[in-house]
Amino acid sequence: MTLGEKLVCPKSAEERVTPVAHHVADTLGRALRDLRLSVTDRCNFRCVYCMPKEVFGRDYEFLARKQILSFEEITRLVDVFRSIGIKKVRLTGGEPLVRRDVERLIRMLSELGDLDLTLTTNGSLLKKMSMALKAAGLRRVTVSLDSLDDAVFRAMNDVDFPVSRVLEGIEAAAAVGLTPIKVNMVVKRGVNEDSILPMARFFREAGHVLRFIEYMDVGHSNGWRMDEVVPAAEIIARINRELPLEPVDPNYPGEVAERYGYADGRGEVGVIASVTRAFCRDCTRARISTEGVLYTCLFATRGHDLRALLRDGASDTEIRCHLIDLWRARADRYSEIRSAETVKLRKIEMSYIGG
């Protein structure tokens, strides 16, 4: 839907949003269960695989405040999504903790009811904010950390931020009960693959779940190349040679991480292998960008404007039936059909959609 276009909800809308709506499925039979919501396009890091400085430099123009969804608009959308089956909401960015008063948004969302409310962060502000986040109703956090080697990590975040401060944030989050904590490591060939084993050893001892993410072609600005991907199979093989691993069943249908438990029972790791072992067939995720555009795939080239509906006076029922129609028409499976040509497509940037 474009700005100014009037949404007309079919007469049968009420029928279509009653119990069956809680099981709304797309063209491939995939249910709608998870919502990832970017609350800001800004970040205090310039990670080379997400917001490289040559694109997102000093002169880059971020979205104006009036362009991004307000807390009230976000809460209203989440409530509508709850009515059609959403069980889990993950707040992302950019870096979500740089959004002013984000704790207030978390409190508003937690008051909606029984939502699994989580947040992904680079950890830079986590030590300072953990207690307030927990008090507001956040259940747990996922922290991005790409190496324990300070020189490698500083080079990857490209703002000279030290590992120690991220680790302090993880400790603070654990202390207030934002658990279980998951740590995400993006692995890029020639940059940080030597950090795989040190990270596995460290977080096994710390008792947090480490997940390795294959370097992905999200967006169009990171110059992605296939030869920079360290395949999940290689990652697991590296760890298994020193710390034997055994496959573990998913925690729930549609879980993106393949789980492996340490053979001695002391913890687990996961791999998110969107490039080499596509999991499109089980994807239950919808994504909303900072400015309120719905994307039905992480690698989407176009989205659907929900902000226009909110600001043009659409009712909750009208928005609800529109979302149902969009999800039922969904046929995305980018990772399954990835090719040299699809890689060239101008896809939505990670900083707008979170990941």
**Residue 320 or residue 50, greater confidence:** 320
The percentage of residues in the chain with a pLDDT greater than 90, rounded to a whole number, is 71
Per-residue pLDDT reduced to its tens digit, 131-161 = 999 999 999 999 999 999 999 999 999 999 9
Residues whose CB falls within 8 Å of the CB of residue 308, separated by 6 or more in sequence, listed in order: 1, 2, 3, 4, 5, 292
Per-residue pLDDT reduced to its tens digit, 12-26 = 444 444 434 457 999
In 3-state terms, the chain is what percent helix, strand and coil (to 5)?
35, 15, 45
Residue 188, phi-psi category: left (phi > 0), alpha (psi -120 to 50), beta (remainder)? beta
Return the closest-CA partner of residue 326 out of 353, 283, 294, 280.
294
Cα–Cα distance, 209 to 182 (Å, whole number): 5
Read off the pLDDT of each residue in 314-326 and give the average, rounded to a whole number. Answer: 97
Compute the radius of gyration of the chain from its Cα atoms: 20
Read off the pLDDT of each residue in 299-319 and give the average, rounded to a whole number. Answer: 93
Return the closest-CA partner of residue 350 out of 221, 163, 233.
221
The SS3 assignment for 145 reads coil
Cα–Cα distance, 198 to 187 (Å, whole number): 13
pLDDT number for residue 13: 43
Do the Cβ atoms of 322 and 5 come closer than 8 Å? no
Residue written as tokens 């294959």? 214
Statement: residue 95 has pLDDT above 80: yes
Cα–Cα distance, 276 to 98 (Å, whole number): 33
Do the Cβ atoms of 25 and 84 come closer than 8 Å? no
Q: Is the dihedral of CA 182, 81, 1, 342 positive or negative?
A: positive
How many CB atoms lie under 10 A from the CB of residue 72? 11
- The average confidence (pLDDT) of the chain is 88
Statement: residue 5 has pLDDT above 50: no
* Structural domains present in the chain: 13-353 (3.20.20.70)
